[in-house]
Amino acid sequence: MKLRKGSHDATGLRFGIVVARFNKFVTSKLLSSCVDGLIAQGVKADDIEAVRVPGAFEIPLVARTMARTKRFDAVICLGAVIQGDTPHFDYISAEASRGIGQAALDADVPIIFGVLTTHTVAQAIERSDPAKFNRGGEAAKSAIEMATVMRVLRVGEETQMSVKRETLIVKRERSDKKQAPRKRKA
């Protein structure tokens, strides 16, 4: 059995971040911890690009657009949807998660779900507190691991394709030699 995995060394990798402006008191802390987490693992500040969008509903389109540029090894989505008295929370949470997942599949680039969906403001604040378990930093770790595992898998694919091409060339050369007319002695 072969076990392939990513690493936490992000040296040389580029990351896009899409962050919702709505609930900025939470999302700004997620963004800060995310960037700090990327830099701590070797990403240069110039290799991080962030885009602000109005809210969580708008995240998937921008994430997919960023990923499709192929400038980024992974895109990280950050937002905060906090439950209120109406079903609005359910619709936005569901569409944001569905859209982010679909964007990753469409773009063939890791897109990380770092959108908080909490019942209360206190829960959102707790999950964005840099002194505690900040989900922005966790999203950065996931992005690095996914970017590196995809690199491992893609290099493996390229190597396999290269070996297959070389094998075909050798087979063709052998086949050509077998079919070449032989010279007869007079």
Convert the pLDDT of each residue in 31-89 to its tens digit. Answer: 999 999 999 999 999 999 999 999 999 999 999 999 999 999 999 999 999 998 888 99
The tens digit of pLDDT for each residue in 132-183 reads 888 999 999 999 999 999 999 988 655 544 444 454 455 555 555 555 555 5
| Count of structural domains within the chain | 1
Whole-number pLDDT of residue 9? 86
Q: Tell me: the pLDDT tens digits for 92-102? A: 999 999 999 99
**Is 175 a member of any domain?**
no
Q: What is the pLDDT of residue 86?
A: 85
The candidate with the shortest Cα–Cα distance to 9, out of 154, 146, 156, 144, is 144
Q: Is the pLDDT of residue 120 over 90?
A: yes
Structural contact between residues 73 and 6, judged by C-beta atoms closer than 8 angstroms: no
State the pLDDT at residue 160. Answer: 45
Residue 139 lies in a domain: yes
Q: Which of 88, 165, 171, 172 is catalytic?
A: 88
Would you state the pLDDT for residue 140?
A: 97
Instruction: Report if residue 174 sits inside a domain.
Output: no
According to the model, what pLDDT value does residue 172 have?
52
Residue 177 lies in a domain: no
Say if 185 falls within a structural domain: no
CATH code of residue 38: 3.40.50.960
Under the banding of pLDDT at 50, 70 and 90, the label for residue 131 is confident
- pLDDT of 4 reads 83
Residue 5 has pLDDT above 90, yes or no: no
Is the pTM of the predicted complex or chain greater than 0.85? no
pLDDT value for 116: 97
CA distance 30 to 24: 9
**What is the layout of strands, in order, in the sheet containing 48-53?**
48-53, 15-20, 74-82, 111-118
- Is 93 domain-assigned? yes
> Could you tell me the residue range of the domain that residue 53 belongs to?
15-147
User: Is 170 domain-assigned?
Assistant: no
Q: Is 88 a catalytic residue?
A: yes
Residue 186 belongs to some domain of the structure: no
* pLDDT of residue 13 exceeding 50: yes
